[in-house]
Amino acid sequence: MKRNKTALVTGCSSGIGYSTCLLLARNNFKVYGTVRNLSKAKKIQEVIDKEKIPLKIILLDVNDSESIQNAIRDILYDSRKIDVLINNAGYGMFGPIEDITTEDVKLQFETNFFGVIRLIKEIVPIMRKQGNGTIVNISSMVGRFGVPLNAAYVSSKFAIEGLSESISYELAEFGIKIIVIEPGVVQTNFFNNLKINGLDTSSPYYELMKKRVSFLKIAMKNSPTSSSQVANTILDALNSKRPEFRYVIGMDAKNSIQKKDSLSDKKFMKWVSDGIFQGKPFSR
């Protein structure tokens, strides 16, 4: 009898991670969903208890190497293997680069980029010995192009894109696949964890930041893309014998990337600026 695939998903207390953990567990994956704070796992634990699905919540802080090693050790003791790693944990930061401290940027990268590095470095030796495995990195449409007043977050996603491309070459011969997920704006509780600088009236960027945050709130409210849609794309990719390297999700993401590829830099940057500061949606 073929054993179910074992998946490790980071950041599962809400949003994309939450939806992905539940969907995989409901589709014959043995899932280990991680959270940095177990008190935030009550909602997903209630679903697990009700449905009796193969999903276990474990403590893991992507910023703490010892925490990662302990979690992986426990998973291997329980399942003897890890077939899938989904690097989802992260948060957003908004603000002009002048108003963001260097320490703020370091913290953004610590979670969004170096957290991914830490997981990959622990998981790859396991997958290499197995002779197979899949690593899914959750990026964003802004991993492909820059947007104003979002430099720290955008840069961390650009870094994920470069990392993913690079390691895909070196891990292919060991049977390890890399998949990059690039959603547009997704209806989640993103604002709950969002860090915003530049909304002080003393900031020279105050008026621009008001427009930027207003645009994001409207885009999130009106976005047809849900975390469940992202989770379904991840499931389809994992079940595919020949998955794509990149999956772009949402009309805003697809349209934006198409514009990026077809317009000159100058025209594309004007299109982005008009969209954010004049309220013209990216889906057009």
Q: What is the four-CA torsion angle of 59, 60, 65, 66, rounded to 10 degrees?
A: 10
Q: What angle do CA 255, 161, 113 make, to 5 degrees?
A: 125
CB count within 10 Å of CB 40 equals: 13
Q: Which residues are catalytic?
A: 153
Whether the Cβ atoms of residue 13 and residue 41 lie closer than 8 Å to each other: yes
Distances (CA, A) of 25 to 82, 126, 231: 14, 22, 12
C-alpha to C-alpha distance for 112 and 10, rounded to whole angstroms: 11
**DSSP secondary structure, 75-101, as one string:** HHHHHS---EEEE-----EES-TTTS-
Whether the Cβ atoms of residue 164 and residue 139 lie closer than 8 Å to each other: yes
Distances (CA, A) of 182 to 16, 52, 157: 12, 31, 10
